[in-house]
Amino acid sequence: MNLKKSKRPLQIKADRRSGSNLNSSTATHGVSLQLTLLVSIAVAMATWVIFWPATQNQFVNFDDNLYVTENPQVRRGLTMQGLVWALTSMTASNWHPITWISHMLDVTVWGVSPSSAWGHHLTSVLLHGVNAAMVFLVGLKLYGRWATALLLAMLLAWHPLRVESVAWIAERKDLLSALFWYAAILCYFRYAQQPRSWGRYLFVLLLFVAGLMSKPMVITLPCVLFLLDFWPLRRMTWDKPLPTWSTLMPLLKEKLPLFALAAASAVITYVAQLQGGSVVTDQISVLARCMNAIVSYWVYVQQSIWPVSLAVFYPLSSAGPQVVRAILATILVVAATTICILLRNRYSWAVVGWLYYVGTLVPVIGFVQVGGQAHADRYTYLPVLGLAIILLGLFELASGKWPKWRPLIVSILGLSIVASVIATRAQLIYWQDSITLFTRATQVSPDSATAWANLGAAYLSRGRIADAIEAYRVSTRLGASTPAQAGLATALAGSGDFQAAIDVFRQLLEAEPENFKVANNLAWILATCPKADLRDPDQAVRIGQRANQQSGGRDPSILDTLAAAYASSGQFEIAVQTAQQAIDLALELQDLTLASSIQSRRQLYQEQRGYIDK
């Protein structure tokens, strides 16, 4: 590889021997600013229309509670205390302050009641539309033709794989990080026109920092900028099979600040995920992780071409995927990589697209396993740009070689986009609420204990006790977990089988004495059980006090339980005081429903009466 600084870095020569005009510059085609603006707005508006049904969806019980509905800092809206927390917190096993601030702003504007979900979804839909317009602008820099750039934006933004990132409020971080990612790339194209313009470079740097503060998956940006230096910027050539250190040095020096930021973000993220208990590397062998990673590369290609059986969760087996499947995927991925590298000078777009796809997936591909998923639709939000680059490159190549077939090829692409829109609308339906979401997940992956547990929780929240018990029992058979067993115990209590519920909660608390949520549930039953012979007020007080202490004394639900326990034991004065603390906290968190419920119980305590759950 020889580096060659161009005096006109944005003037891109045609690929040798291919006859393709893929590398024509924007200036060559004279795309006007007015046309660019109009098409960008049109792309954004069309994307908003396609994804508008997402605004009718509800919060779901999968991380939306962690990020919004049950997060005490976020529920308060945007406050100075919240800003400090966002900048210092590693909640949700990540450091992403801009994501937290975004959710806080949503709460400030829209609220946090169940009926306010449409506003949170609206923000996500608007951001996705802006990202679609940004992809169009990036496409103009890559191809220099608005028609090809428009195809790129439609292929990416309107694909059903995007639904998870848009319809899932907790995945706001995907949309924010992508916004800064594409903005940084656009600024880098501008910087490349005047490589010594440090003012322009500063914009790239700041946008990269903003992306890292939204979701650390963008740490691969410096490597992507290297790829863009090769194509379409032509700031370097790649003639020798392997690059040498001396040839890379000029462009490497330029990107050292970016690499330093990426390294710092990687360390922070790993520490955050370790502290949050998200890293499960020790539970899955190195071989299983490597096999799953290589299979996932090919799965994402398959899903991009034929997006069927999409779901919110695809469980990962501790043994990894089947060996034969892993071997086949390895052969395909290695073959694709080898072919693209060998043809790098003739079809530069192919090697850039493929390495972009492979490289941007590295942080989430599973070599360091985080969570129990084998792969996830949301992980494709940025990487599939590389696959789209290859697809459009093949389209241009075929159109150039066989001009008479161009109308047919355009028709096929057009029909593919229409099919994507239809599939996207269908996929949005599954995200209406937790029941539809996890019913679909259990259909796609019937052996997923996580999916069944979340389906049980969804049924329980709707009062469908029998359905909840059935779903929880399926989940515990597939793989016993504390949330599933605790949910089963709650559902059993709802069905009137209080003794069975108490037994399950006691077993869980013995196994996990620090689990204050389990302790709170047990204390509630012991304090408020309709069956007098099962009530144990003194023990309820002890367990409730310990749960309150473990939770930091700022959880209104736990204080509500403690107040009920005090009242059950005849300590009505302290029960009234504790209930008032719970009410104040609930109002602070804008949980009016909970505050109203506790207020009704407080009145009972003032009348020297305990509360009996019915």
Q: What's the per-residue H, E or C state across 69-83? A: HCCHHHHCCCCHHHH
Is the Cβ–Cβ distance between 465 and 495 less than 8 Å?
Answer: yes
Cα distance between residue 593 and residue 591, in whole Å: 6
Res 26 pLDDT > 60: no
Res 13 pLDDT > 60: no
Query: Residue 231: its pLDDT value, please?
Result: 95
Query: Residue 376: its pLDDT value, please?
Result: 97
DSSP per position, 116-168: GHHHHHHHHHHHHHHHHHHHHHHHHHHHS-HHHHHHHHHHHHTSGGGHHHHH-
Least confident of 19-33, 68-82, 108-122, 233-247: 19-33
**What share of the chain has pLDDT > 90, as a percent?**
82
Least confident of 267-276, 497-506, 561-570: 267-276
Query: Residue 6: its pLDDT value, please?
Result: 38
Supply the DSSP symbol for 56: G
Query: Residue 319: its pLDDT value, please?
Result: 66
Cα distance between residue 383 and residue 361, in whole Å: 6
Q: How confident is the model at residue 246 (pLDDT cuts 50, 70, 90)?
A: low
Query: Residue 4: its pLDDT value, please?
Result: 38
Q: Which amino acid is at 129?
A: G
Least confident of 316-330, 370-384, 408-422, 435-449: 316-330
Q: How confident is the model at residue 22 (pLDDT cuts 50, 70, 90)?
A: very low
Span 391-413, average pLDDT: 91
- Bridge partners (DSSP) of residue 236 are 3
Query: Residue 486: its pLDDT value, please?
Result: 97
Query: Residue 368: its pLDDT value, please?
Result: 82
Is the Cβ–Cβ distance between 561 and 520 less than 8 Å?
Answer: yes
Q: Which residue is it, tokens 């944005």?
A: 10
Interior/surface letters 380-406, b for 16+ CB within 10 angstroms, e for the rest: bbbbbbbbbbbbbbebbbebeeeeeee
Span 440-445, average pLDDT: 98
Is the Cβ–Cβ distance between 304 and 380 less than 8 Å?
Answer: yes
**For residue range 416-429, what is the model confidence (pLDDT) as tens digits?**
999 999 999 999 99
Q: What's the chain's Rg over C-alpha atoms?
A: 27
Span 588-606, average pLDDT: 95
Q: Report domain extents, the chain.
A: 25-277, 279-401, 523-614
Q: What is the pTM of this model?
A: 0.92
Diameter over CA atoms, the chain: 91
Span 274-282, average pLDDT: 74
DSSP per position, 202-219: HHHHHHHHHHHTT-GGGG
**What share of the chain has pLDDT > 70, as a percent?**
93
* Angle ∠(537,541,543) on CA atoms, nearest 5: 115
**For residue range 572-589, what is the model confidence (pLDDT) as tens digits?**
999 999 999 999 999 999
DSSP per position, 287-329: HHHHHHHHHHHHHHHHHHHS--S--S-EEPPTT-S-HHHHHHH
Least confident of 19-28, 106-115, 235-244: 19-28
Distances (CA, A) of 599 to 525, 565, 602: 19, 16, 5
Q: How confident is the model at residue 31 (pLDDT cuts 50, 70, 90)?
A: low
- Bridge partners (DSSP) of residue 373 are 315
Element containing residue 373 per DSSP (H, E) = strand 373-375
Query: Residue 505: its pLDDT value, please?
Result: 97
Cα distance between residue 545 and residue 539, in whole Å: 10
Q: How confident is the model at residue 275 (pLDDT cuts 50, 70, 90)?
A: confident
Q: How confident is the model at residue 276 (pLDDT cuts 50, 70, 90)?
A: confident
Least confident of 78-82, 213-217, 278-282: 278-282
**How far, in whole angstroms, is CA 556 from its chain's centroid?**
29
Cα distance between residue 231 and residue 49, in whole Å: 33
**For residue range 492-551, what is the model confidence (pLDDT) as tens digits?**
999 999 999 999 999 999 999 999 999 999 999 999 999 999 999 999 999 999 999 999
Query: Residue 566: its pLDDT value, please?
Result: 98
Task: Compute the mean pLDDT over every residue in the chain, rounded to the nearest whole number.
Answer: 92
Least confident of 70-79, 93-102, 163-172, 270-279: 270-279
DSSP per position, 440-473: HHHHH-TT-HHHHHHHHHHHHHTT-HHHHHHHHH
Q: How confident is the model at residue 3 (pLDDT cuts 50, 70, 90)?
A: very low
Q: Which residue is it, tokens 């389906």?
A: 455
**For residue range 178-202, what is the model confidence (pLDDT) as tens digits?**
999 999 999 999 999 988 888 999 9
Q: Which residue has the higher pLDDT, 607 or 16?
A: 607
Cα distance between residue 8 and residue 338, in whole Å: 31
Span 424-444, average pLDDT: 98
